[in-house]
Amino acid sequence: MRKLYTGLAWTIAGAVVIQAAAIAFAFGGMLNLVSEGGVVDKALLESFQAGGVGEVGFMVHGVVGGVLIPLIALALLVVSFFVRVRGAKLWAAIVFGLVVLQVVLGFSIVGSPYLGLIHGANALAVVATAAVAALRVRRARAADAAQAPLEPAEGASSDAVAA
């Protein structure tokens, strides 16, 4: 379970990196389209062509941010209840809360562009808290592994449960 917890937490942190890359790619594509004489308007936006070659960046940003990360954050929160490490639940809850905030901000940007300022900063907070969550539980795993040789039978059984 601890392995799963750290895995999920690192996946969230990694997915945020993908988000940053994808949105930069998308806006690069859009500016490239405009610089070559293309016109971006609502009609093009709604027909999912406004990003030019970077359109896939918008799609990735939408799917990873709107579906994948929230699901993983939820899974992390659920898994945290089976991980007996101090703070595991708390940090999973913080990550989940920040992700929910991030999604709400993301869907509100069109109506209130200034929220974009918080959306970008909050992304870094998601990475940081996900990393803290992963590191804390990994440290606990490492500490247990160091103790394991002293109590071989108990260690084996808890590994089996973890697997």
Q: Is 152 in the site for another protein (CB under 8 A)?
A: no
Other CB atoms within 10 A of residue 133 CB: 30
Q: Is 146 in the site for another protein (CB under 8 A)?
A: no
Burial class (CB in 10 A: 0-12, 13-18, 19+), 83: buried
97 touches 16 (CB < 8 A) = no
Nearer to another protein, 44 or 93 (CB): 44
Buried-exposed string 42-72: b where 16+ CB fall within 10 A, e elsewhere: eebeeeeebbbebbebbebbbebbeebbbeb
Between 3 and 42, how does the x/- string for binding to another protein read (CB under 8 A)? Answer: -----------------------------------xxxxx
Residue from 7, 14, 66, 120 in contact with another protein (CB under 8 A): 66
Residue from 4, 18, 74, 109 in contact with another protein (CB under 8 A): 109
122 touches 35 (CB < 8 A) = no
Residue from 49, 84, 124, 159 in contact with another protein (CB under 8 A): 49
Q: Is 81 in the site for another protein (CB under 8 A)?
A: no
Binding site for another protein (CB under 8 A): 38-47, 49, 66-67, 107-112
